[in-house]
Amino acid sequence: MIASLAWRNIWRQPTRTALSLTGMAFASMLLVFMLSFQFGSYDSMKANILRIIDGFGQVQPPGYKDDPEITKVIRDPSGLIAELESLPQVTTASARANGYVLLANGERSFAAAVAGVDPVKEVRITRIASLIKQGRPLRADDDAAIVLGEALARNLRLKVGDRVTLLGTAMDGSVAADVLKVVGIFRTGITEIDRQIAHMPLDRFRETFVMDGAVNEVAIIGRDLRDIINAEPRLRAIAARHDAVYLNWGQLQPAVKQAITLDMTTASLMYGTLVIVVVFIILNTLYMSVLERTREFGVLLAVGMKPGQIGRMVWMEIIFLSLVGTGIGIVLGMGLAWYFGRVGVTFEGMQQIFSQWGLPPRIYPRMTPFRVLAGPSAIILLIAIAGIIPYRRVLGLEPVKAMNA
C-alpha cells in the first residue's frame, strides 16, 4: 500500500506532475535520439573511412605502422590469411604490399603510395572499385595495370589507357621500375587519398619490388565493425602466432578516433548539462511537494509510520516519476530514431565537409541498447541519488513540529 500511496501522491497535483513528466520525457527523447544519431554518424564515418583503404583491422609486421619500410614483411601470408578467415567475425582477409614511389608521365612526376592488392578480395574490403569515375577497377587477370586517385591522375595529366612509369626501391635495395597502364581513376572525396594513392595487382607489385611472395600487411573486413572489435583478442593472438601485430581501427585511423573522442567529449558536456538541469528541476518540484506535505508527514509519524518508511515512500515517488517520464521519453526517442533511421538526415551544404570525414551525405541514426538507455538511465540514477535531499529532510521531521508546520 505504501507503493500505491506513493503512486497516488504523484498525481495529487496533476498539472505539476504532467509538467515534470513532460520535461523528463523531452530530455530523455532528446538523449535517445541524439545518442543514436551521433553514434550512428560515427558508425558511418568509421565504416566509410575504413572501407576506403584500411579495412576494419590489419595484421602487420611489428613496427611497420610507424616506419613503413618495404623490408618489414610477413614472409608467407597464406597461413595467416587462412587463420584470420576461419574466424566467424572475419569475412575476408586480403594481403597487400606497399611502396612509396615516384610516378612519372613524360616530364611530370609525383610521389605516390602504391599498394599491391588482390583485385578479387580487395573489392570486398575497400570501396575503391565502386569509386572508379573513369575506366574500370582492377581485375583478377590484370597484370601491368594501375588505378589511381583523381587528383594524382590530374597532376600527372593521365587518363584511362595512358601508361605511367613507376620508380621505387625494391625489397632487396635495388631499383624497382615498371610501366603500368592506367585502367581506372577513382575519386573518394578525401583529398589526401585522391592525390597520393594508387593500386596495382599484388603479384605484379611483388615481382617489381622483388618481394618473393612476402607482403606488408593483411587487411580484414567483417559484416560489422563491432564484430571485428569484439574479435580483437583472438585477432591479436593470431597475429602474434605469425610474429606480427594486430592493429585495430583506432590505430589505423587515429585522427578519426581523436575526432570522435573530441566530438563525444563536447557532446557529453552538453548531455551532462541537460541531464543535470532536468534533475534539478525535478528535484525542486519534489522538494516543494515534500515541504507542502510536512503536516501530513507529521500525522503519518503520529499514527506510527517510521521516518525511514516515509522517506522511502518519498523516494518511491521520485523513482516512479522518473521511470514514467523517462519511459515516455524512450518510446518517443526510439520512434524518432526509427523514423530517421529509415529516411536519414541530410544537412544541406555540408556534403563537402562530410566527405572529408568519410561521411555519406545522408546520416542514419542507429539504435543500440546502450544508445537508447544511457541518457534516461543517467537521469533516473541522478534523480535517485538527488532524492537523498528530500529523504534526509523527512528523516529529520519531529511529529509535533511537523503537524504544526
Partner 1 sequence: MMTEPIVSCRGVNKIFGSGELQVHALRDVDLDIMPGDFATLAGPSGSGKTTLLNMVGALDTPTSGEVVIDGQSLRGMGKSELSDLRLNKVGFVFQAYNLVPVLSARENIEFVLELHGMPSAERRDRAREILREVGLEGLENRRPAQLSGGQQQRVAVARALVARPSIVLADEPTANLDSKTTEELVQLMYRLNREFGTTFVIGTHDPRVMEHSKRHIELLDGRIASDERS
Stretch that binds partner 1, among 5-13, 133-141, 262-270, 381-389 (CB under 8 A): 5-13
Output the smallest distance, CB 313 to partner 1, in A.
11
CA 321 to chain centroid, in Å, comes to 33
1 binds partner 1 (CB under 8 A): yes
309 binds partner 1 (CB under 8 A): yes
Size of the site for partner 1 (CB under 8 A): 23
2 binds partner 1 (CB under 8 A): yes
Angstrom distance (rounded) from CA 170 to CA 335: 58
Beta carbon nearer to partner 1, 240 or 302 = 302
Q: Are 239 and 59 in contact (CB under 8 A)?
A: yes
Beta carbon nearer to partner 1, 9 or 28 = 9
Separation of first and last alpha carbons in the chain:
26
329 binds partner 1 (CB under 8 A): no
296 binds partner 1 (CB under 8 A): yes
5 binds partner 1 (CB under 8 A): yes
Beta carbon nearer to partner 1, 34 or 300 = 300
* Residue 134 bridge partners (DSSP): 185
- Helix, coil or strand: residue 188: coil
Beta carbon nearer to partner 1, 199 or 293 = 293
- How buried is residue 257: exposed, middle or buried, by Cβ count under 10 Å (0-12/13-18/19+)? middle
From 148, 166, 167, select the one nearest 158 (Cα to Cα).
148
Interface map 256-295 toward partner 1 (x if CB under 8 A)? ----------------------------------------
Output the smallest distance, CB 7 to partner 1, in A.
9
68 to each of 62, 240, 306, 390, how far by Cα in Å? 10, 19, 72, 62
Interface map 7-46 toward partner 1 (x if CB under 8 A)? -xx-xx----------------------------------
Pairing of β 145-149 and β 197-201: antiparallel
306 binds partner 1 (CB under 8 A): yes
Which residues in 208-247 belong to E strands, given as ranges? 217-221, 245-247
300 binds partner 1 (CB under 8 A): yes
327 binds partner 1 (CB under 8 A): no
Beta carbon nearer to partner 1, 172 or 398 = 398
Q: Are 218 and 58 in contact (CB under 8 A)?
A: yes
Stretch that binds partner 1, among 40-48, 246-254, 335-343, 395-403 (CB under 8 A): 395-403
Stretch that binds partner 1, among 171-179, 271-279, 305-313, 325-333 (CB under 8 A): 305-313
204's CB contacts (< 8 A; 6+ apart) are 116, 142, 143, 144, 145, 178, 180
Beta carbon nearer to partner 1, 116 or 298 = 298
Q: Are 64 and 216 in contact (CB under 8 A)?
A: yes
Beta carbon nearer to partner 1, 1 or 255 = 1
Angstrom distance (rounded) from CA 310 to CA 5: 11
Output the smallest distance, CB 333 to partner 1, in A.
31
Q: Are 313 and 6 in contact (CB under 8 A)?
A: yes
Output the smallest distance, CB 396 to partner 1, in A.
9
Nine-digit cell string for 398: 519531529
Q: Are 150 and 133 in contact (CB under 8 A)?
A: yes
In this structure, the number of other CB atoms found within 10 A of the CB of residue 84 comes to: 26
201-260 residues in contact with partner 1 (CB under 8 A) are none
296's CB contacts (< 8 A; 6+ apart) are none
Stretch that binds partner 1, among 55-63, 135-143, 304-312, 352-360 (CB under 8 A): 304-312
Angstrom distance (rounded) from CA 95 to CA 60: 10
Beta carbon nearer to partner 1, 8 or 108 = 8
Residues that bind partner 1 in the complex, under the rule CB under 8 A:
1-2, 5, 8-9, 11-12, 296, 299-309, 398-400, 403
